Amino acid sequence: METNLLNYLEKIDKYLKPIGAAERADIINEIKSEMQELEAKDKLSSEQIIERLGNPKELAGAYLGQSITKNDSFNLRKLCTIIIFYSLAGLGSVFVLPFTSIVGVTFMICGVIVPICGAVKLLGAIVGIDTPYIMFQFGTYTASPVMAFLLSILFGILFILAGKFFWKLTIQYIQMISSRKKKI
């Protein structure tokens, strides 16, 4: 394989660093096999092959998008991969991806914190410790510790559901971008 094709593959490998080594190797092998097929079957030169595959950054971005959207579960590695993908996705994603991903993660964190605060308020009331900064207040009505605990569970569930909704929006947006940029 010619040097410029190997350099092209190295650039793609560099852009794909956020994903696992095994998956990255599979992607590189897939692109390499496509290059060999274009070279043997279509009799294209290395320059024509590179032109046909397009910008290595965009091609890697499409594969990153595919990798992210394989499942829609949340974890920190996937969040980091989304941040890298965001940097490769272009100007159209400057507002959408940060908004949906940050809002989704924030809602999920709040969905965990709010019930904990409700439990702290209830436990504080049971042992006789006042927790004035933890409360549910609607206008002039302040919920009792038991009602605050029940409301915190309800709001925690609502926050988790909202977080998952925004996370799925993030994944769907990445799928849309990936399908437009994928050239192979």
| Segment 147-169, tens digit of pLDDT | 999 999 999 999 999 999 999 98
| Cα–Cα distance list, 7 to 1, 3, 13, 21, 28 (Å) | 10, 6, 10, 18, 12
pLDDT in tens, 90-124: 655 667 778 888 999 999 999 999 999 999 999 99
Contact between 129 and 103 under an 8 Å Cβ cutoff? The reply is: no
| Other Cβ atoms closer than 10 A to 134 | 18
| Other Cβ atoms closer than 10 A to 63 | 26
- Cα separation of 31 and 40, whole Å? 14
In the predicted structure, residue 76 carries a pLDDT above the cut 80: no
> Per mean pLDDT, which of 73-77, 91-95, 167-171, 180-184 is the most reliable?
167-171
